[in-house]
Amino acid sequence: MHKIAVLAVGPGSPEYLPPAVVGKVKECDLLVGGKRNLALFDLQGREKIEIKGKLDPVLAEIKREMVNRKIGILVSGDTGIYSILPRLVREFGRAALDVYPGISAVQYMFARLGLCWQDARYLSLHGRKLDGLAAEVEGEGIVALFTDKKHSPAVVCRTLAEAGLKDKKVYIGEDLSYPTEKISEGRAEDFTAHSGSDLNLVVICSE
What pLDDT is attached to residue 56? 94
Identify which of 152, 33, 114 has the alpha carbon closest to the alpha carbon of residue 21: 33
Same domain, 125 and 72: no
DSSP string computed for the chain:
-PPEEEEE-BSS-GGG--HHHHHHHHH-SEEEE-HHHHTTS--TTSEEEE--S-SHHHHHHHHHHTTTS-EEEEESB-TTSSSSHHHHHHHH-GGGEEEE----HHHHHHHHHT---TT-EEEE-TT---TTHHHHHSSSSEEEEE--SSS-HHHHHHHHHHTT-TT-EEEEEESTTSTT-EEEEEEGGGGTT----SSEEEEEE--
Q: How many CB atoms lie within 10 A of CB 112?
A: 14
What pLDDT is attached to residue 7? 98
Domain that holds residue 72: 4-103
Q: Alpha-carbon distance 77 to 6, whole Å?
A: 12
Of 73, 103, 133, the residue at which a domain comes to its end is: 103
Same domain, 65 and 121: no
Same domain, 21 and 95: yes
Inter-residue contact 106 to 133 (CB < 8 Å): no
Of 51, 72, 103, the residue at which a domain comes to its end is: 103
**Domain count of the fold of the chain:** 2
Same domain, 94 and 136: no
What pLDDT is attached to residue 150? 86
Per-residue confidence in pLDDT tens, the chain, 207 aa: 789 999 999 999 999 999 999 999 999 999 999 999 999 999 887 899 999 988 999 999 999 999 999 999 999 999 999 999 999 999 999 999 999 999 999 999 999 999 999 999 999 887 677 778 888 888 888 999 999 888 899 999 999 999 999 999 999 999 999 999 999 999 999 999 999 899 999 999 987
In this structure, what CATH number is given to the domain that contains residue 32?
3.40.1010.10
Same domain, 162 and 187: yes
Of 76, 103, 130, the residue at which a domain comes to its end is: 103
The pTM for the full model equals: 0.91
